[in-house]
Amino acid sequence: MAKCSICGRPAIYVSRASGLAFCEKHFLEYFSRKVRRTMRKYRMFGPREHIVVAVSGGKDSMSLLHFLHNLSKRVPGWRVTALLIDEGIKGYREYTIKRFFRFVEENNIDYKIVGFREEIGYTLDEIVKMGRERGLPYLPCTYCGVFRRYLLNKAAREMGGTVVATGHNLDDIVQTYLMNIIGNDWAKIVRLGPVSGPSHHPKFVRKVKPFYEVLEKETTIYAIIHGLYDGFEECPYAPLSIRWNIRKMINQLEERSPGAKYSLLRSLETAIDILRKHGIGEEEQLYTCAICGEPSAHPICRACQLKLELGILRLSEERIRSLPEKARRMVEAAIRRGEKR
């Protein structure tokens, strides 16, 4: 059995990339040092912040809430609250919500829950079904991602948040990086940095990823140590996503050449630098959606576009005619996509 590189006690974690092993105590020190270093390096938080932690109830976001809540006890200018988005996924979300409630109540953390059904009009399960009936080409993760990001920004702003922290770990980020390389979507790659922005839209709340340099394996161990993970985790829609395959591929790669995930992260940072120099991705969040008034990368935001395609949102002829040219054309195209079978 491996021994802790620091104290020689039995190790609970071996980092193959660095060759270091840690016992529980020294793993937690290593983890905390690493996250705090990331937060400093990318200037994620100022001395006075209302940090809204975006929580799904899964191990990564619960670990992040636990970590920031504890850290905030030592930073007088910080307030940490939690925002849970309930997509309405049967047989999955009910369990993670229970874990979330237990934690926020035990720790006296203010929170808000925002549901797809209340805000969008339908649960994700219903939306997926509607999309299939209309013959739309999207995977469940597309609807979920678009509506979740939309509600996250809106709700965090309404809560008075100055910054939103999400639980994305290194694995999530390099998976998305590869997915966007395959999709040839370089503007999205620019947005994969540890801090989103700079955005000057007054309705946009800055997003940060404190676990940017932490492996999924490490957030899992952190969650297990703190009783935030009991093994039941996987979203039923996950195997349908392209991410599922990419994740498997990267894990096999890491198995063969330890450190591959870190290399991919460094590659992403280089790519972001080069793309920024070419002005790619700069138009992000520059628009205000002509329908809902939320910040958007397009004249009509992705959430409103999807709602139009699904028939959830209907606009009168008059309203459509009154829209600015570019926005009107986007609305008409979205309605057409929804009609096509």
- In the complex, the residues that contact Zn ion under the rule CB under 5 A are 4, 6-7, 23, 26, 289, 291-292, 301, 304
Min dist. Cβ of residue 20 to Zn ion (A): 10
Count of other CB atoms within 10 angstroms of residue 303 = 25
- Residue closer to Zn ion by CB (options 9, 117) is 9
Phi/psi at 135 (nearest 5 deg)? 70, 25
Min dist. Cβ of residue 229 to Zn ion (A): 22
Task: Give the SS3 label for residue 166.
Answer: coil
- Residue closer to Zn ion by CB (options 85, 173) is 85
296 vs 289: CA distance, rounded Å: 6
Min dist. Cβ of residue 184 to Zn ion (A): 25
Kind and range of the H or E run holding 252: helix 242-256
23 vs 274: CA distance, rounded Å: 40
Task: Give the SS3 label for residue 49.
Answer: strand
The sign of the dihedral angle between the CA atoms of 129, 130, 131, 134 is: positive
- Residue closer to Zn ion by CB (options 4, 271) is 4
- Residue closer to Zn ion by CB (options 213, 294) is 294
> Which letter does DSSP use for residue 11 in this model?
P
- Residue closer to Zn ion by CB (options 18, 245) is 18
- Residue closer to Zn ion by CB (options 146, 301) is 301
Min dist. Cβ of residue 3 to Zn ion (A): 8
What DSSP letter does each residue of 102-130 carry, written as one string? HHHHHTT--EEEEEHHHHTSS-HHHHHHH
Min dist. Cβ of residue 294 to Zn ion (A): 5
* Residue 304: partners with Cβ closer than 8 Å, 6 or more residues away: 289, 291, 292, 313, 334
Min dist. Cβ of residue 240 to Zn ion (A): 26
- Residue closer to Zn ion by CB (options 6, 225) is 6
Q: 116, 114, 109, 108: which is closest to 50 by C-alpha?
A: 109
Task: Check if the beta carbon of residue 275 is closer than 8 Å to that of residue 186.
Answer: yes
CA-atom Rg of the chain in angstroms: 21
Min dist. Cβ of residue 231 to Zn ion (A): 25
Min dist. Cβ of residue 101 to Zn ion (A): 31
- Pinpoint the alpha helices (H) of 77-183: 93-106, 116-119, 124-133, 140-158, 170-182
- Residue closer to Zn ion by CB (options 6, 195) is 6
